[in-house]
A and B are shown apart, each in its own frame.
Chain A
């Protein structure tokens, strides 16, 4: 057998193997696809950004046209906050006051012709809580005279118990003292009645 060695002893170069060709092709394609995807994304983002910036300009102009409405709302909001802050303090201050009209209406509704309410004294007692907050307890003292005797006073107390806005508890309405008192030359029984009012 003859061997013709034109390369004079050097090896015959081997041709590229199919696996190498496949690997190189896949790697190349992957790179190209990645570049293409990135480029597409870049182009899309750029055009979307341009459109959004255009919209931004339009809405900014709209906002400039609506500036007077924005100013009005801002002023309104500022005033609302001021009033709310004032009202928050007012509600604290209201805890230190009461209304006497219902008490006096109940008193005049309970008094009959058989008794005379001689004097009325409202009392406001301050109470300090553990948190140093002050609360008030209200009561009313009244001096009552009845020419027709104790039955009229008892009836007056029963009516008061029904009509007066009293604090809870059995002691909220009681006779504090009872004594003889001369009025216009005659002796009358003079009662001092205390009502503790609901807070």
Chain B
């Protein structure tokens, strides 16, 4: 082998060793470092976004908006669903409403609860059924039913029967099936 060829071979060996060292440095140090930087940038971006969001949420205007949204939802909820306190005094509540309309011979009683509404078993909401019986004039009846249906939470009138009062009594004999929705306990 000539002297030139030997020099070239030596150079090639050194060059390949240098290239291998470069490759090892690149794949073992530079690339993982780049990935770590990318991860870190993403984490910083997430934190910046979260901090900005929370700072905005802390502002008085945003707090007011959040409060209003929550109150709107709760109001909407209370239009339909009885809470435990109202549920416990449901009989008194209906009796109070009846007294406000001077309904004669009023009686009301709870006749049961249902968790299957419209053929579907509901997980969170249940229904309590109440039967009412009283005597009144037609205008009084319309006003009373209107008040039940405008009550918050609503008292649904499911069915009713109105007949001319028997005997010497004036007015109409009314029988009514009502129901209310309430939230099941423990959910």
Contacts and interface: CB of A to CB of B under 8 A. Distances in A.
A-B interaction: yes
Interface of A: 13-14, 16-17, 20, 24, 27-28, 31, 34-35, 38, 41-42, 45-46, 48-49, 52-53, 55-56, 59-60, 62-63, 66, 69-70, 72-73, 76, 79-80, 83-87, 89-90, 92-97, 99-101, 104-105, 108, 117-124, 128, 132-135
A38 B87 CA distance: 74
Most buried by A among B37, B66, B123: B37
Contacts of B179: 97
B34 A35 contact: no
B14 to A, nearest CB: 9
A94 B149 CA distance: 12
B161 A45 contact: no
B34 A45 contact: yes
B22 A38 contact: yes
B2 A13 contact: yes
Nearest to A183: B164
A118 B81 contact: no
B55 A66 contact: yes
Contacts of B109: none
Given A56-B43, A66-B55, A133-B119, A80 B73 contact: yes
B29 interface: yes
Nearest to B67: A76
B101 interface: no
Interface of B: 2-4, 7-8, 11, 15, 18-19, 22, 25-26, 29-30, 33-34, 36-37, 40-41, 43-44, 47-48, 50-51, 54-55, 57-58, 66, 69-70, 73-74, 76-77, 80-81, 117-120, 122-125, 127, 138-139, 141-142, 145-146, 149-150, 156-164, 172, 179, 181, 183
B51 A90 contact: no
Given A35-B18, A38-B26, 10 more contacts: A41-B34, A45-B37, A48-B37, A49-B36, A49-B40, A63-B51, A70-B54, A73-B57, A97-B158, A105-B146
Nearest to B183: A86
Most buried by B among A16, A99, A118: A99
Nearest to A138: B159
